[in-house]
Amino acid sequence: MDNILDMTIRELGDLLKKRKISSVELTRFFLDRIKKYDSDLQSYLNITEGYALKMAEDADKRIDGGDNGIILGIPMGIKDIFCTRGIETTCASQILKGFVPPYDATVIQRLKANGYVHLGRLNMDEFAMGSSTENSSFQVTKNPWDIKRIPGGSSGGSAAAVAAGLCVASLGTDTGGSIRQPASLCGVVGLKPTYGRVSRYGLIAFASSLDQIGPITRNVSDCAGLLSIIAGHDPMDSTSIPEPVPDYTAYLGRDIKGMRIGIPQEYFIEGMEKDVKQAIEASIALLERNGASPVNISLPHTEYAVATYYIICTAEASSNLARYDGVKYGLRVDGKDIIDMYKKTRFRGFGREVKRRIILGTYVLSSGYYDAYYRKASKVRTLIRRDFENAFSQCDIMITPVSPTTAFMVGERMDDPLTMYLSDICTIPVNLAGLPAISLPCGFDHSNLPIGLQIIGRPLDEARILQVAYAFEKERGVKRIPDRYMQ
């Protein structure tokens, strides 16, 4: 059954519909792989075996009844940030340990309606605050290509599990690069949709004006199919865009001849690894050979993006995380009075990085500092968005690196938060502007570590970036799972 790992979701679906394999058998296959390989990788926080097998049985009945949904009977892992009815949802934080939501997030509802199988909850940086999955309160996930290295973050568990073949696909979240950066470092495909394209209802919030949900898959066609399911307007989310969702898979295989590719010079920064730069340049040349036309463009306010992001996201985190106080749900540490209880609960429940961001956010929102920091950052955010608007008058898509480096060693940057924050320098501007972007594998460095290519599109132009990504992937091929996970 190892050839299952090379199949797309559609190919697996065809096997299920022809009854060459059942969803129960497919689910057991992945559960066995998790048991065999995840002790070193540590991508799963919680394996929901009984729940998964029941969902697989239900999927087999639906298939027997003639149902033919894209993900019907397909085993997936889910980042531990989406409220899922009856399943503990912790956001990889001690403060939410034991929290079992009474309802499903909209994306979970849509996956269930289409018959997916829930294998378990995937590890992440606590409350999605991090770029390495080292900030989880429970365990450190490793990179499947080298388990001494980080998988990226905050959706590191999702990217690592997909890359190692411990699930067919996953959902992650992206606030400043948390889908694209781990996808890049683990050699898989990760898409951050336009802000508002996918409902955030039931997502445990980090920074509400930046968070977005997207798929992490092993190939572009799976990414397009999954996005078609989770995208769309939701009246439960006031920021959800009321626009129809196209069939993204219909755009795959279309010609890219004549497409203008913008190359922003500001993204080729000092300190970028030579192998990364060469891989991106080779990727641009490949697209040019397929009929696309490179155009040099400028995004002049890029240098202010990281500072702007860390003011806005910490301010919003400070506000969003104020609700975790030990009163209604999650951890509660008793104190001599209610104020003491708040202090003790939050001190014990939040990890170091989360506390750092709450303190920063509270500071920039405090009296006398709001105008100097938060208001000014909001104005710079507008300038960054205008940079993209102006640049898109000269091009159809943009090509950049995802990360200036490949995966670094576990523990290497934990005591240097500024260097850690700079890991997302190529992804953060996209979130500030609310644009769609995809990361897909484009090569390896001299240490056999994956390198990711970022394709950025106009608002709601996911179809075009998937079209270009598919054309690129068709030429390059899909990366195999690392050899250690094929034994």
Q: How far apart are CA 180 and CA 191, in angstroms?
A: 6
Q: Is residue 247 within 8 Å of residue 228, measured between CB atoms?
A: yes
Q: Tokens for 165?
A: 């073949």
Mutual orientation of helices 220-230 and 106-113 as an angle, nearest 10°?
110
Q: Say which residues have a Cβ less than 8 Å from residue 288's Cβ, sequence separation at least 6.
A: 261, 294
- Cα–Cα distances (Å) from 293 to 84, 93, 256, 262, 312, in that order, read 45, 46, 10, 9, 36
Q: Which of 22, 131, 136, 178 is catalytic?
A: 178
User: Residue 260: how many CB atoms within 10 A of its CB?
Assistant: 15
Q: How many CA atoms lie within 13 A of 319 on its CB side?
A: 13
| Selected catalytic residue, list 23, 43, 79, 228 | 79
| DSSP H or E stretch at residue 173 | strand 169-174
Tokens of 418: 């500024």
Q: Which of 93, 154, 184, 199 is catalytic?
A: 154
Report d(CA 467, CA 464) in Å as an integer. Answer: 5
For residue 300, give every residue at least 6 positions away whose Cβ sits within 8 Å of its Cβ, in sequence order, or none. 266, 387
Is 447 annotated in the active site? no
Compute the Cα dihedral for 439, 442, 445, 448 and give only its sign: positive
User: Hey, CA dihedral for 487, 28, 119, 463, is it positive or negative?
Assistant: positive
Dist. CA 454–CA 437, nearest whole Å = 7
Structure tokens at 362: 């509270």
Asked if 178 is an active-site residue, the reply is: yes
Are 116 and 76 in contact by the 8 Å Cβ rule? The answer is yes
Cα–Cα distance, 293 to 288 (Å, whole number): 6
Q: Residue 79 catalytic?
A: yes
- For 144-178, b/e burial (b = at least 16 CB within 10 A) is bbbbebbbbbbbbbbbbbbbbbbbbbbbbbbbbbb
Q: How many CB atoms are closer than 10 A to CB 121?
A: 24
**Active site (catalytic) residues:** 79, 154, 178
